[in-house]
Amino acid sequence: MNNEKDTSLLFTPANIGPVMLRNRTIRSAAFEGMGRNNNPTDELRDYHLSVARGGVGMTTLAYAGICESALSFKTQIWLRPEIVPQLREITDGIHDAGAKASIQIGHCGNMTHRSTAGCLPVAACTGFNLYSPTFCRGLRKYELQTLARQFGDAVNTARDAGFDCVEVHAGHGYLISQFLSPYTNRRRDEFGGSLDNRMRFMRMCMEEVMKAAGNDMGVLVKTNMRDGFKGGLEIDDCITVAKELEQLGAHALVLSGGFVSKAPMYVMRGQMPIYTMTYYMKQLWLKYGVRMVGKYMIPTVPFKELYFLDDALRFREALKGQLVYVGGAVSREGIDKVLSSGFDFVQMGRALINEPDFVNRLREGEERCDCDHVNYCIGRMYGDKMVCHKHCTDIPKGIQKEIDKIKGDKR
């Protein structure tokens, strides 16, 4: 069936701030691992062009660091003026395919190493992050103002590079979320203590972002609905944060959850393929360390279709502005359900890693994507570029065994 004339909500255009998308689908920021020395590559361009040609309303280049200390992988983009021409090639291609282009901007705080970040990792507080693992240094007040300005600079660079929107990463235990969460923020100054104080750094960043965005760029913010572990932010505080983001002028909120340095699979659900993850890791000490303790540190959180919907509905009730649903959107029925529940857009990660043209296929009558959520793409991201295992022709035996086991465990 060819549904070129499908007029359902899914295929109607809508705006994010000043930017009109041709339909309600967005490729979520899912790390491609395709940069080289923190610069974009042809491979990164080709992947996003395939997604744009595959029918999405907008595609998002995953996490790009706003400065050097924001980088957690060499294969990530460092958003800076020097790479504007290469990014232009990507955004031009996306626009030629009829889609809009967004880029996620953020700072990883304590989730990096000196060798990648160019300095001792910085964080809300001095301490040790077991998950990297690394020591980190608490940021001084004057540095916070500089970082906030760098968020604004990143928006201007994104505009120069032809992006229509930016997505500020304020969730998943990245730096803004490290300030929001009582687990990582034990500061005694005006940036710590009450939730209002913990929101101060986010407020400073958003003020710079909105100033730089002016009236021609769309601003999305990815924010947590829960941190996903005891001692982290829970839903009521996260609703307060979301209301504040609306007040600060964000055009749309992407509702997610989880904390990479504490509850990583709360973000994506399912099992982390530890063998796969360590197979691709380059540093030997990390490879064997994680192989020994990984399964205790990264608990499985069962996957189910639309796993964030119940929480997201509470946000829908509490908020007035545009909301983007993300998390386990894999079928036409599910996507329609999300849109008819009052969400304005649906983001998809794994469905579009598995099938970059999933949106066109939905239009043609496909009911469900072919992703089996064994999370090979997630394990692989720790040392190689993003690929779905279904597109690999050279899967090593040990990894195949792990994939089969995870599939078996799910049954």
- Active-site positions read 174
Nearer to ligand FMN, 63 or 163 (CB): 63
Only one of the segments 178-186, 198-206, 349-357, 391-399 lies at the binding site for ligand FMN (rule: CB under 6 A); that segment is 349-357
Distances from the Cα of 381 to the Cα of 9, 45, 119, 124, 278, angstroms = 34, 18, 23, 26, 10
CA distance 7 to 10: 8
Nearer to ligand FMN, 153 or 355 (CB): 355
Q: Which of 51, 61, 62, 101 binds ligand FMN (CB under 6 A)?
A: 62
Q: Check binding of 191 to ligand FMN (CB under 6 A).
A: no
Question: In the bound complex, which residue of the shown chain has the CB atom lying closest to ligand FMN?
Answer: 349
By rule CB under 6 A, what count of residues binds ligand FMN? Answer: 25
Distances from the Cα of 13 to the Cα of 100, 344, 359, angstroms = 12, 10, 14
Report in angstroms how near the CB of residue 120 gets to ligand FMN at its nearest.
Answer: 23
Q: Check binding of 382 to ligand FMN (CB under 6 A).
A: no
Distances from the Cα of 71 to the Cα of 67, 174, 374, angstroms = 7, 11, 27
Q: Check binding of 103 to ligand FMN (CB under 6 A).
A: no
Q: Check binding of 25 to ligand FMN (CB under 6 A).
A: no
SS3 state at 63: strand
Torsion sign, CA atoms 349, 351, 355, 356 = negative
Report in angstroms how near the CB of residue 49 gets to ligand FMN at its nearest.
Answer: 19
Q: Which of 349, 374, 402, 403 binds ligand FMN (CB under 6 A)?
A: 349
Q: Check binding of 111 to ligand FMN (CB under 6 A).
A: no
Nearer to ligand FMN, 204 or 378 (CB): 378
Torsion sign, CA atoms 206, 201, 27, 240 = negative
Q: Check binding of 268 to ligand FMN (CB under 6 A).
A: yes
Structure tokens of 13?
């255009």
Structure tokens of 151?
């968020």
Nearer to ligand FMN, 144 or 374 (CB): 374
Q: Check binding of 329 to ligand FMN (CB under 6 A).
A: yes
For the purposes of burial, counting CB atoms within 10 Å of the CB of 74, is it exposed (0-12), middle (13-18) or buried (19 or more)? middle
Report in angstroms how near the CB of residue 220 gets to ligand FMN at its nearest.
Answer: 11
What phi, psi does 65 have (nearest 5°)?
-75, 140
Helices (H) and strands (E) in the chain, counts: 17, 14
Which letter, b or e, does each residue of 21-41 get, where b requires 16 or more Cβ atoms within 10 Å of its Cβ? bbbbbbbbbbbbbbbeebbbb
Report in angstroms how near the CB of residue 172 gets to ligand FMN at its nearest.
Answer: 6
Only one of the segments 29-37, 86-94, 135-143, 391-399 lies at the binding site for ligand FMN (rule: CB under 6 A); that segment is 29-37
What does the binding site for ligand FMN look like in residue numbers (CB under 6 A)?
28-31, 62-63, 104, 169, 172, 222, 256, 267-268, 326-329, 348-351, 377-378, 381, 386
